[in-house]
Structure 1
Amino acid sequence: MSNPLIEIRSLEKVFHARSEWLLPRWLRRNRRAKKQHSVFALNGVSLTVERGETLCIVGETGCGKSTLARALVGLEKPTAGELYYGGYRTDMLTDKERMPFRKKMQMVFQNPYASLNPRMTVYQILSEAITLHHKGFSRQQTDDFIAELLTSVGLSQEAEDRYPHEFSGGQRQRISIARALSVEPELIVADEPLAALDVSVQAQVLNLMMDKQQEFGLTYVFITHDLAVVEHFATRVAVMYLGRICEVASREALFQAPKHPYTRALLSSIPRLDDLSIEPIHLTGEVPTPLEKPMGCSFCARCPLANQRCYEQIPVLQLQPDGSSVACHAVEEGRPWK
Structure 2
Amino acid sequence: MTQTSDELLRINQLEKVFLLRQGWNEVLKAKRTGFSRDILVHALNGVSFSLFAGERLCVVGESGCGKSTLARTVIGLLTATAGEIYYRDERIDHLNDHQRMKFRKKIQMIFQNPYASLNPKMTVYQMLQEALSIHLPDLNAEAQNQRICALLDSVGLSTDAQHRYPHEFSGGQHQRISLARALSVEPELIIADEPLSALDVSVQAQVLNLMMEKQQTHQLTYLFITHDLAVVEHFATRVVVMYLGRVCEIADRATLFSAPKHPYTKALLSSIPRLDNLHLQPTLLKGEVPTTFDIPEGCIFCQRCPIANQRCYEEIPVVQIQPDGSEVACHAVREGRC
**TM range, smaller chain:** over 0.9
Corresponding residue for 2:11? 8
* SS of corresponding position for 1:22: helix
Contact 1:18 1:34 in 2 (8 A): no
**Structure 2 matches for 1:209-248, cutoff 5 A?**
209-248=211-250
1:22 is aligned with what amino acid? Answer: N
CA RMSD, 1 decimal: 1.6
Q: Per-residue deviation at 1:304?
A: 0.7
Runs of 4+ in 1 over 4 A off after TM superposition: 27-34
d(CA) in 2 for partners of 1:73, 1:321: 33
Q: Per-residue deviation at 1:311?
A: 0.6
d(CA) in 2 for partners of 1:34, 1:216: 52
Corresponding residue for 2:185? 183
d(CA) in 2 for partners of 1:18, 1:145: 46
Contact 2:30 2:36 in 1 (8 A): no
Q: Per-residue deviation at 1:32?
A: 9.0
1:222 is aligned with what amino acid? Answer: F
d(CA) in 2 for partners of 1:225, 1:33: 39
Q: Per-residue deviation at 1:295?
A: 1.2
**Structure 2 matches for 1:184-203, cutoff 5 A?**
184-203=186-205
Q: Per-residue deviation at 1:21?
A: 3.2
d(CA) in 1 for partners of 2:308, 2:178: 44
Gaps of at least 5 residues in structure 2 are none
2:14 is aligned with what amino acid? Answer: L
1:87-120 CA-partner distances (Å, limit 9, x unpaired): 0000011111100000000000011000000000
Contact 2:11 2:49 in 1 (8 A): yes
Name the CA shift for 1:166/1:33 in 2 (closer, same or farther; >3 Å): farther
1:163 is aligned with what amino acid? Answer: Y
Gaps of at least 5 residues in structure 1 are none
Contact 2:270 2:282 in 1 (8 A): yes
**Structure 2 matches for 1:19-168, cutoff 5 A?**
19-22=22-25, 34-168=36-170
1:8 is aligned with what amino acid? Answer: I
d(CA) in 2 for partners of 1:201, 1:11: 34
* SS of corresponding position for 1:321: coil
Contact 1:12 1:79 in 2 (8 A): yes
Name the CA shift for 1:142/1:279 in 2 (closer, same or farther; >3 Å): same
d(CA) in 1 for partners of 2:198, 2:268: 22
d(CA) in 1 for partners of 2:281, 2:238: 25
Q: Per-residue deviation at 1:226?
A: 1.2
TM-score, with normalisation over the residues of structure 2?
A: 0.96
d(CA) in 2 for partners of 1:253, 1:66: 25
* SS of corresponding position for 1:5: strand
2:23 is aligned with what amino acid? Answer: E
1:142-197 CA-partner distances (Å, limit 9, x unpaired): 01100000000000001001000000010011000000001100000000000000
Q: How many pairs are equivalent?
A: 334
Q: Per-residue deviation at 1:35?
A: 2.0
Q: Per-residue deviation at 1:269?
A: 0.4
Name the CA shift for 1:151/1:2 in 2 (closer, same or farther; >3 Å): closer
* SS of corresponding position for 1:75: coil
d(CA) in 1 for partners of 2:30, 2:323: 63
Name the CA shift for 1:143/1:94 in 2 (closer, same or farther; >3 Å): same
* SS of corresponding position for 1:259: coil
Name the CA shift for 1:255/1:118 in 2 (closer, same or farther; >3 Å): same
Q: Per-residue deviation at 1:34?
A: 4.2
Corresponding residue for 1:321? 323
Which has the larger displacement, 287-296 or 119-128? 287-296
Contact 1:284 1:302 in 2 (8 A): yes
Q: Per-residue deviation at 1:18?
A: 1.4
d(CA) in 1 for partners of 2:135, 2:41: 36
Corresponding residue for 2:281? 279
Corresponding residue for 1:306? 308
Contact 1:7 1:48 in 2 (8 A): yes
Name the CA shift for 1:20/1:138 in 2 (closer, same or farther; >3 Å): same
Q: Per-residue deviation at 1:294?
A: 2.7
1:213-249 CA-partner distances (Å, limit 9, x unpaired): 0001100001111111111110000000000000000
Name the CA shift for 1:305/1:31 in 2 (closer, same or farther; >3 Å): closer
Name the CA shift for 1:29/1:116 in 2 (closer, same or farther; >3 Å): closer
d(CA) in 2 for partners of 1:293, 1:101: 34
* SS of corresponding position for 2:223: strand
1:118 is aligned with what amino acid? Answer: P
